Chains A and B, each alone.
Chain A
Amino acid sequence: MNNSTGWQVDQAILSEDDRVVVIRFGHDWDPTCMVMDETLYSVAEKTKNFAVYYLVDITQVPDFNKMYELYDPCTVMFFFRNKHIMVDLGTGNNNKIVWSIEDKQEMIDLVETVYRGARKGRGLVVSPKDYSTKYKY
């Protein structure tokens, strides 16, 4: 689903009581976002019991650019009951995912981890996969 104003984004985050709100900030025309969106679309149905996904165009809705430092082509953030859930991804930046994930199962695992952690009241969960560069190269 697409959100076109900052208010709508806020409402999207506020309206969910027991699902993780996953928001992708970026542009639909961006190649990184395209890959990520493909993954998100395909997992959305499978994870609909515990997660809901939104896409936000950061040119159309620039309200969060400073607040969430949205300077990357594609950023994915997690919210649960109006709380920003941080994920220890091993990259040093726990706030968001700034790359695209191609593996669907990987994405499902990540969202499920966030959901489980958030349900327990955690503000920071540890990602099942370590995205630090040592595994990338």
Chain B
Amino acid sequence: MFPVTKDFLGKPAPPNYVAGLGRGASGFTTRSDIGPAREAPPGAEGSGARDGPRNARSKRGDTEAGGAAAEMYQDPDNETGLFATLPYDREDAEADRVYAAIDAKMDERRKSRREAREREELEQLQAKRPRIQDQFSDVKRQLATMSAEDWESVPEVGDLVGKHRGKGRLRKLDNDPASMRFTPVPDAALLRSQQLGGVLTAVDPMADGLTSTLAPGAADGLTTPQDGTLSTAPSSDRVDLVEMGRVRKQMLGYQLDKFSDSASGSSTVDPRGYLTGLDSMVIQSESEIADIKRARTLLHAVTSTNPKHAPGWIAAARLEEVAGKLSQARATIARGCEECAQSEDVWLEAARLNPEARAKDVLAQAVTHLPQSVKIWLQAMKLESDPKLKKRLVRKALELIPNSIVLWKTAVSLEEDPTNARILLSRAVELVPLAVELWLALARLEDYDNARKVINRARKAVPTSHEIWLAAARLEEQQPGHEDMVGTVIDRAVHFFSEKGDIMSRDQWLKEAEQCEQNEFPLTCQAIVRATIGLDVDPEDQEATWLDDAEQCTSRGSIQTARAIYAHAIQVFPNHQDMWLQAAFLEKNHGTADSLDELLKRAVKYCPQEEVFWLMGAKEKWLAGDVDAAREILGLAFDANPDSEQIWLAAIKLEMENRFFDNARVLLTKAREQANTPKIWMKSVMLERITQRDDAALQLLQTATAQFADFAKLWMIQGQIYEKQHHTANARTSYRHGTTHCPTSVPLWILAARLEEQVANLPIRARALLERARLLNPKTPELWVEAIRLEVQQEQRQNGTSSTASSVGRGVSGAAASQLLLAKALQECPQSGLLWAEALALAPRAQRKSRSVDAMKKCQDDPILIMAIARLFWSERKLGKARVWFGRAAKLDPDLGDTWAWWYKLEQQHGSEDQQKHVVQACVAADPHHGERWQPVAKDINHFGCSVEQKLQLVTATLESP
């Protein structure tokens, strides 16, 4: 509507400008008593500075002048303010005057009458709806007589509204707040009071002189009609309610009984249906009284219609028990015992419900009815505490039930004396010849010879039991000097079972073998594996199946079984190297050094062409400190594979690590002749560098690069040596050759760029190099990061800031080129943690957090990024969090040395001794090799031969604080 001007001070407002409305503002109304802010906009009667005509005009159309909205809704028959928009001239003024005179005249004419009428109306209104002031006017007048003391004694009104209303009112009613406080009654108390009420009703009718003997709940609803109870209801309300409930229940009971004994003679109530109905009705808490009542009625119907149905009685008794009426439950189950004397469950339930002394009687009764029930005998035995009595009971039971295995076992376990037990068992196996457990127990108790006899007899009695065979094998294993018998026994067993048809599958046998291993019978275990591993496996599947089995056994911790499987497999396939390799790994992880050594020796005998075994053996020896033995093994390896690069390298490494440089040199000369590979050349150069003979190294390199021009590392080494000697031009040449021969080697490009930037101080060349590298190797985050860093450094140099410029400064100054590059880089490789870490470092401090969230979304599991975030936390002094994140990064990639170094730095600055030690130990265990900060230090020839811990210290020293 009105344009915004910047220099408004001292300027006049545009015509017809309405302040506030002109900028679309609306006011507010907080206190309607001091002025309507919204109802009348400030145009109507706002300012005195308004021009004259508007004001005057508003006199006529006063109420409507405010807004067009009000005009739209006015009465069409009686329109006002129609001409408010016209100019107000003299005629209008005259007309107004005339109208005013007429109004005054009219007012004068009926003045007295009108006033009288108005007074009358007012009185009428007051009579109809009197004001409170008027109502109490007489009382108010009396207030004048009150003295100062009276006023003092007027009580405070107090807090009648608000949250404490309920309590406050209660406190007003009763002076003691504690007595008026209500707390919910616990369910247990309700149940108790209900039971109490039940007792009361049972007592009350007696006191009233009633003849019927009513135990509550038990005899209710049977045949005794209680006509007295209703009429002589006790006075207390609570008892009355209980009474009423009981009468209702009785009526229901009658009805149910009537249903069950209908005229046709057959029951109309299906007891089975009732029982399933009861099953589905779970009594969840004691408070479900209504459910208990209903269940009681149902169960009563069940027991009365079909009294020979034992589960009905048990359910009824249990219900009473749940309802808390134990005596009731006992009575019910006693009747159940009478009705269903042949059901052992009912008896057991009765014994359970009764106290111990009474339970014995119940069980004695039960035994007379059911002498063959093992359960009842066992229950009776459990109740006896005296071992002698127990034994006697068992004997009696065995007389009646001689072929119960359970009883025999109990009897044997009760015997403390082994001879007695043996006698018992020998009797038992005669009577129950099929009980394998008894046979085994007997065999265990006998000495070796007798045990063999027992087992032979058992085998005849139960020919299908493999447990007996296994027991025989174990017996042989236990007996010293009979170890070779184990295999025979197992072989016979397997033969026997395979003749009978496959009763035992291969998996079952393997499981048995593992079981034997757990019980420390390794020979039996091995014998089983040997005999059964080949069972029903197709010859072509054998290898895979066995490897699979062995792996599973290893994962379950059954090392012996796995070892046995491998041993067998190796026997069958002596030339399969992966089998040997697996077996070797098993030995390495779980076995001893000797067993591994022995296995490796055998392995190289069978597969001499396989370098891995030689190397493994040599490494084991070397790690054990036996350098000569390692050398010997490698010597043998040379005989087997004269032109193997791997073995050459291993031998050279062995010599170099042990600082026998001359030996190494001789070896290398030989190696160069026999196995002419770039790696060996590189090693030769490395050796010369380590021994500080750069010229020799350069000579070697010349030959090597002529021979292997596309091996990038050679070029790199050459360039580095020149750099060290400050031959920048030579270094540049070697890098250039390198990049032309191997354009895909990223480190070579980076080295070349660094040379240009740092040594030659030609950032433009470096930039061009990196650009070309990126062109040749698209999607390589390392190149991008290098380029970004180059830009950042250039900008810093230009700004004259130190290398530890504040992050904000870096962010702002880097906005030009480095940020541009970073954005491009992230577009090209959005998944690169390296780039994101760089982005985090470049972001201004305030944005780092949000940046890190973005980064985590893009690449969740990148150790470099996680390390960067950990450092971010560190810089915010969130040490605990930083520690956790370092831990995550280290777990994701334990080979990344940077993580360990940074972490160690954190612990050095803020951690305790223990924490430092923990990091060092974990690092040594991980043995890292990679990392942007790690590699330059670890590979530095000055640090050759340092341990991991020393390297960690060195790398950490190079790090700056985040």
Contacts and interface: CB of A to CB of B under 8 A. Distances in A.
B25 A8 contact: no
B658 interface: no
Contact of A64 (B10, B19, B48): B19
A7 interface: yes
Interface stretch (B1-9, B509-517, B899-907): B1-9
Given A8-B11, A67-B25, A84-B25, A93 B30 contact: yes
Given A63-B47, A67-B25, A68-B27, A7 B34 contact: no
Given A6-B13, A93-B30, A67 B20 contact: yes
Contact of B17 (A3, A7, A62, A93): A7
B19 A63 contact: yes
A5 interface: yes
A82 B21 CA distance: 12
A10 interface: yes
A63 B42 contact: yes
A66 B35 contact: yes
B23 A13 contact: yes
A84 B24 CA distance: 11
Interface in A78-127: 82, 84, 93, 95
B37 A66 contact: yes
Interface string A61-79: 1111111110100000000
A5 B23 contact: no
Contacts of B34: 69, 71
B35 A71 contact: yes
Interface in B8-64: 8-14, 17-20, 22-31, 34-37, 40, 42, 46-48
Contact of B42 (A11, A67, A71): A67
A15 B4 contact: yes
Contacts of B23: 10, 13-14, 82
Contact of B20 (A4, A63, A93): A63
Contact of B13 (A8, A12, A15, A62): A8
B27 A66 contact: yes
A8 B22 CA distance: 11
A50 B933 CA distance: 45
B37 A68 contact: yes
Nearest to A2: B9
B5 A67 contact: no
Contacts of B24: 82
Contacts of B6: 15
Contacts of A62: 46-48
A48 to B, nearest CB: 16
Interface string A47-62: 0000000000000011
B13 A69 contact: no
B28 A7 contact: no
Interface in A1-56: 1, 3-15
Given A7-B14, A63-B47, A69-B29, A12 B8 contact: yes
A10 B5 CA distance: 10
B58 to A, nearest CB: 16
Contacts of B10: 4
Q: Which secondary structure dominates where chain B touches chain A?
A: loop
Given A63-B46, A66-B42, A67-B37, A9 B27 contact: no
A134 B34 CA distance: 26
Interface residues of B, number: 33
B30 A6 contact: no
Given A8-B9, A8-B13, A95 B19 contact: no
A11 B5 contact: yes
A1 B42 contact: no
Contacts of A14: 4, 23
Given A82-B25, A93-B30, A95-B28, A6 B19 contact: yes
A8 B8 contact: yes
Contacts of B19: 5-7, 9-10, 61, 63-64
B30 A69 contact: yes
Interface in B542-594: none
Contacts of B46: 62-63, 66
A126 B113 CA distance: 62
Given A5-B13, A6-B20, A63-B47, A69 B8 contact: no
Interface string B756-799: 00000000000000000000000000000000000000000000
A7 B13 contact: yes
B20 A10 contact: yes
Nearest to B43: A63
Nearest to A61: B19
Interface centre among A4, A61, A63, A69 (most CB of B within 10 A): A63
A6 B34 CA distance: 22
A33 to B, nearest CB: 19
B6 to A, nearest CB: 5
A85 B723 CA distance: 66
A10 B2 CA distance: 10
A61 B29 CA distance: 20
A71 B29 CA distance: 12
A15 B8 contact: yes
Interface centre among A62, A65, A69 (most CB of B within 10 A): A69
Contacts of A13: 23, 25
Contacts of A11: 4-5, 8
A15 B5 contact: yes
Contacts of A8: 8-9, 11, 13
A69 B5 contact: no
A7 B25 contact: no
A6 B23 CA distance: 11
A34 to B, nearest CB: 22
A69 B31 CA distance: 8
Contacts of A65: 35
Contacts of A68: 27-28, 37
A29 B48 CA distance: 22
Given A62-B47, A63-B42, A63-B47, A69 B35 contact: yes
B143 to A, nearest CB: 32
A68 B19 CA distance: 12
Nearest to B46: A63
Contacts of B20: 6, 10, 63-64, 67
B27 A67 contact: yes
Contacts of B11: 8
B36 to A, nearest CB: 7
A2 to B, nearest CB: 8
A63 B12 CA distance: 15
A65 B19 CA distance: 11
A6 B46 CA distance: 11
Interface in B204-225: none
Contacts of A64: 19-20, 27, 42
A35 B575 CA distance: 101
Contacts of A61: 19
A1 B11 CA distance: 14
Contact of A66 (B18, B30, B40): B40
B12 A5 contact: yes
B363 to A, nearest CB: 78
Interface centre among A3, A64, A66 (most CB of B within 10 A): A66
A10 B20 CA distance: 6
Nearest to A5: B13
Nearest to A64: B20
B925 to A, nearest CB: 49
9 contacts: A6-B13, A6-B22, A7-B13, A8-B9, A8-B13, A10-B23, A12-B8, A15-B4, A63-B19
Interface of A: 1, 3-15, 61-69, 71, 82, 84, 93, 95
Interface of B: 4-6, 8-14, 17-20, 22-31, 34-37, 40, 42, 46-48
Pick the 10 closest A-B CB pairs, nearest first: A6-B19, A7-B13, A67-B27, A63-B19, A11-B8, A10-B23, A14-B4, A7-B17, A67-B20, A8-B8
Given A10-B25, A11-B4, 10 more contacts: A6-B22, A6-B47, A14-B4, A15-B5, A66-B37, A69-B30, A69-B31, A69-B34, A69-B35, A71-B34
